[in-house]
Structure 1
């Protein structure tokens, strides 16, 4: 068993009962081909929760600081995470993300860039729009509806893919595309809260 599968198994047996996770719309995630799963970000537990509730193995961007510890960095790398420098344009991370999509894998993004501790859906950074416009990936919005409290229900909702055709044809800006994705996440959050 590889480390990703082992991590998914361990996280599943811990998180599902602890947070009484309910998953809605998992079938909105395509079974194959490039896909970008864009989720709101309310907790450090969001990446493993999205990882265990998705039917695809996901490559996540993670803040560079997490990789400075060799043990943690080694584990993150083996569970398909790769570093991004926050607050600046990180060409290596952008290239790696596009390579993930070109290889028909799933890329997991938290467009807000940092946790929204109030549980609300915040403003997204342009990176999500960049990946959406520079690839042929299907964009799946995801809303995590908390809070993360022991034995209190946590809902993970995967919405229908966001149609990128018009944005790609009009050569829309990355920020405009991110704003649309965040609006989809906001609507999922509102409908399912």
Structure 2
């Protein structure tokens, strides 16, 4: 209920104030487990991506965001959960796999941090691990901004599956980032 209300308010805001365009909505599966991945260059990205999706998204967010009691509680109410970056966070991995086992949507920014330059970096190992361990399809998304307060374009690509073991995981991460890059051009 709270998620749908927040999504409706955000859609109205982005439509009226930011002039957003959402493309490829038909590529979002209506049901089943799903990992949605996107580029990340602004604190607004989870809001933009969550508002553009047709299904609720459970975002993985850096643990620092959850240290503020009121804000952390709100994030949890909206389905987000903390992850310790630069460490193997087994609790976050278990939580993410549980979300996928419940046939819900997991939202991730594969680079693990915001890009200050707008250039895409390398995918962290976590997204590949979760995709291969769960068997969930990956839905790539590209968030492209205009200059200043210009419009925002969100493009969803076609879902795809990863099968990667050992050394193939690095290549799988490159594929994820290439899929996102193709949606930004």
TM-score by length of 1: 0.90
Deviations 1:157-176 (A, max 9, x none): 00011243xx25x6664333
1:59 is aligned to: 58
Say which SS state the counterpart of residue 142 (structure 2) adopts: strand
Deviations 1:37-79 (A, max 9, x none): 0100010000010001011110000010111111001000000
Query: How far apart in 2 are the matches of 1:149 and 1:79?
Result: 29
Contact 1:36 1:108 in 2 (8 A): yes
After TM superposition, the structure 1 = structure 2 runs for residues 3-82 of structure 1, keeping only pairs within 5 Å, are: 3-82=2-81
1:160 is aligned to: 158
Deviates more, 1:23-32 or 1:8-17: 8-17
**Aligned equivalent of 2:177, options 176, 182, 189:** 182
Say which SS state the counterpart of residue 112 (structure 1) adopts: coil
Query: How far apart in 2 are the matches of 1:147 and 1:69?
Result: 31
Unaligned runs of at least 5 residues, structure 1: none
Query: How far apart in 1 are the matches of 2:181 and 2:52?
Result: 19
Contact 1:38 1:111 in 2 (8 A): yes
Query: How far apart in 2 are the matches of 1:154 and 1:88?
Result: 33
1:88 is aligned to: 87
Unaligned runs of at least 5 residues, structure 2: none
User: RMSD of the TM alignment (CA)?
Assistant: 1.5
